[in-house]
């Protein structure tokens, strides 16, 4: 007589689907052409800018404050990165809809877990990459313009600038992922988000100077890098971005769970 096979009770790990999507998305993002293009363009632009400024500094003798030069570079990086960061964020959910998302969402994962995993993966990829690149740029600026950096560039100011910009980027990524999850096409989502982002940025330049605008805040980065910043303002930026991120996540969670994929 054959022995009955033992009955094995599988204990499902409820968080494993979240981690699986998070890990896979991080890996896919880093291998994707948009991410590589972003990193490459940032590195080339930063390298070119620094070499040009060093050339001016050493050959032409044009001496400019290190904080001002790094502030200009930071501004260039943020404005340049924004376009590709939007593509990265919106395509997180949007690009998979109807294809890969089918074979993921038809398994044991809820919409909430999927959305959060995608959101967190893109947040981690963008914020960590930008923080890393920005730190490298600041270090390069510090060593290349060492002569006046000792009196000009401030470590605390650099940290504040990186944290502030990363907080703003986090809000942009959160809303980008949400827009991607709620629109029917990736191209449509990217176009809408670009228009909203750049349109709002342009409109804010028209309001009186007493109100903050992205352009004016970026122009002030040189002072922040030199250590002239208001810690309260940094907290306001971080908390404001946190609220925006939370709001985006809530809208995305509710909206995505009610949509067809």
Partner 1 sequence: MADGATELIVETQHLTKIYGNRQIALNDVSLTIEPGSVLGLLGPNGAGKTTFLRLVLGLHRPTAGWAKAFGRTMTPNSADLRRRIGYIPTNPQFPRGMTPITYLDYIARLFGLPADVRKPRLATLIRAVDLLPHSGDPIAHFTPGMTARLAVAASLINEPDLLIWDEPTHGLDIEARRSMLELIKTLAAEKTLILSSHNLTDVDEVCNHAAVLNKGQLIFHGSLQDLKGRIKKNHYELDLDGEQKAITRAVAALRALPDVKQVVLRQRRLDVKLGDDSPNTALLAQLFGILNDQKVTVISVRTVGVQTEQAYLELVEKEESRGFARLYRDAEAA
Judged by the rule CB under 8 A, the positions of this chain that interact with partner 1 are 8, 10-17, 19-21, 24, 27-28, 31, 99-100, 102-113, 257-261
**What's the closest the beta carbon of residue 25 comes to partner 1, in angstroms?**
9
Between 45 and 261, CB nearer to partner 1:
261
Q: Of 212, 171, 178, which Cα lies nearest the Cα of 90?
A: 178
Task: Answer for the pair 219, 68: CB distance below 8 angstroms, yes or no.
Answer: no
CB of 132 to partner 1, least distance (A): 23
Q: What is the DSSP letter of 59?
A: I
CB of residue 16 vs partner 1: minimum separation in angstroms?
Answer: 5
Select 18 or 74, whichever has its Cβ closest to partner 1.
18
Q: How far apart are CA 18 and CA 129, in angstroms?
A: 22
Is there a contact between 85 and 173 (Cβ–Cβ < 8 Å)?
Answer: yes
Residue bearing tokens 């204990």: 11
152 φ, ψ (degrees, to nearest 5): -110, -60
Place of tokens 């070119």: 48
Compute and round to an integer the Cα radius of gyration of the chain.
Answer: 22
Question: Among residues 99 and 135, whose Cβ is nearest to partner 1?
Answer: 99
By beta-carbon proximity to partner 1, the closer residue of 9 and 210 is 9
CB of 122 vs partner 1, minimal distance in Å: 15
DSSP tag of 6 = P
CA distance 95 to 89: 10
Q: Which is nearer to partner 1, 103 or 210 (CB)?
A: 103
CA-to-CA distance for 181 and 199, rounded, in angstroms?
21
| Shortest Å, Cβ 197 to partner 1 | 27
Q: Which residues contact 77 (CB under 8 A, 6 or more apart)?
A: 42, 45, 46, 130, 133, 134, 137
The minimum distance between CB 9 and partner 1, in angstroms, equals 10
C-alpha angle 87-92-95 in degrees, rounded to nearest 5: 85
- Residue number, 146 or 259, with CB nearest to partner 1: 259
CB of 83: closest distance to partner 1 in angstroms? 23
Closer by beta carbon to partner 1, 77 or else 249? 249
Q: Report whether 251 contacts 178 (CB < 8 A).
A: yes
């Amino acid at each position: 007589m054959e022995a009955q096979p033992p009955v094995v009770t599988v204990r499902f790990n409820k968080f494993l689907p979240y981690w699986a999507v998070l890990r896979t998305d991080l890996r896919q993002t880093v291998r994707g052409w948009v991410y590589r293009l972003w990193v490459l363009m940032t590195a080339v632009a930063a390298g070119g800018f620094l070499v040009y400024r060093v050339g001016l500094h050493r050959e032409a003798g044009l001496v400019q404050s290190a904080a001002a030069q790094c502030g200009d570079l930071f501004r260039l990086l943020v404005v340049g990165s924004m376009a590709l960061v939007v593509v990265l964020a919106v395509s997180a959910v949007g690009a998979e809809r109807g294809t890969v998302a089918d074979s993921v969402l038809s398994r044991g994962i809820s919409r909430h877990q999927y959305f959060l995993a995608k959101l967190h993966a893109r947040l981690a990829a963008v914020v960590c990459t930008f923080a890393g690149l920005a730190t490298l740029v600041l270090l390069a600026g510090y060593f290349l313009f060492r002569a006046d950096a000792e009196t000009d560039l401030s470590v605390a100011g650099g940290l504040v600038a990186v944290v502030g910009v990363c907080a703003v980027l986090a809000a942009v990524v959160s809303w980008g992922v949400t827009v991607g999850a709620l629109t029917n096409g990736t191209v449509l989502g990217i176009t809408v988000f670009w228009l909203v982002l750049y349109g709002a940025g342009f409109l804010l330049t028209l309001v009186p100077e007493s109100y903050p605008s992205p352009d004016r805040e970026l122009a002030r980065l040189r002072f922040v890098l030199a250590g002239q910043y208001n810690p309260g303002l940094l907290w306001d930026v971080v908390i404001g971005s946190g609220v925006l991120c939370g709001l985006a996540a809530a809208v995305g969670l509710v909206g995505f769970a009610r949509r067809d994929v």
